Chains A and B, each alone.
Chain A
Amino acid sequence: NAGVTQTPKFQVLKTGQSMTLQCAQDMNHEYMSWYRQDPGMGLRLIHYSVGAGITDQGEVPNGYNVSRSTTEDFPLRLLSAAPSQTSVYFCASSYRGNTEAFFGQGTRLTVV
């Protein structure tokens, strides 16, 4: 099993550009989530989903959109990239919201 797969691993964007970070899991988990990791800030929840067709905002949702059309995929969209969105992004999945979360390898995004 691949677990949680994120693509791309690295990305450089210009301010104002849009892009989609991809996340796929093969564990049939209902719960998926996106985090950003910044130095000294830990992991902060951006958006999460408790199942296909259901999404909700986390702690830092502004500037990001998500959708969940299938159980396997949970893409994160940056609508108009800003330098403040420079970060490392992690996708995670779990059976439920209070069980072990499995993380992808991360996407390092730089916005210039």
Chain B
Amino acid sequence: QQQVKQSPQSLIVQKGGISIINCAYENTAFDYFPWYQQFPGKGPALLIAIRPDVSEKKEGRFTISFNKSAKQFSLHIMDSQPGDSATYFCAATGNQFYFGTGTSLTVIP
């Protein structure tokens, strides 16, 4: 059973637009929900993370929205830039990480 489900698989956005990636999780014991960004040939790097005691966290152009009752969380990228083109992974963890299957984001100039 997949612990974290991520959608969409791929996303194409115009420069300046908003990119939205969604994730849903199963286990209510998860207590840390990070988003990772990965460029080709590189390892994933933490972008932003949230704990379940808050509903939203914003860092620059990146925002996580968290809905504990629905067991869903999403990443919003405002004013998307070509440099944001990468693969994004959501994850959930209690004592081990479970990753979503990834979203390939392309921002068109």
Contacts and interface: CB of A to CB of B under 8 A. Distances in A.
B60 interface: no
A45 interface: yes
Given A43-B91, A58-B96, A92-B43, 13 more contacts: A40-B102, A42-B100, A42-B101, A50-B95, A90-B43, A90-B44, A97-B93, A97-B95, A98-B93, A98-B95, A101-B46, A104-B43, A106-B41
Interface residues of A, number: 25
Interface in A86-100: 90, 92, 97-100
Interface residues of B, number: 25
Which 10 pairs, one residue from A and one from B, show the smallest C-beta to C-beta distance?
A103-B43, A98-B32, A97-B95, A42-B101, A43-B99, A42-B99, A98-B93, A100-B46, A103-B44, A105-B43
A33 B96 contact: yes
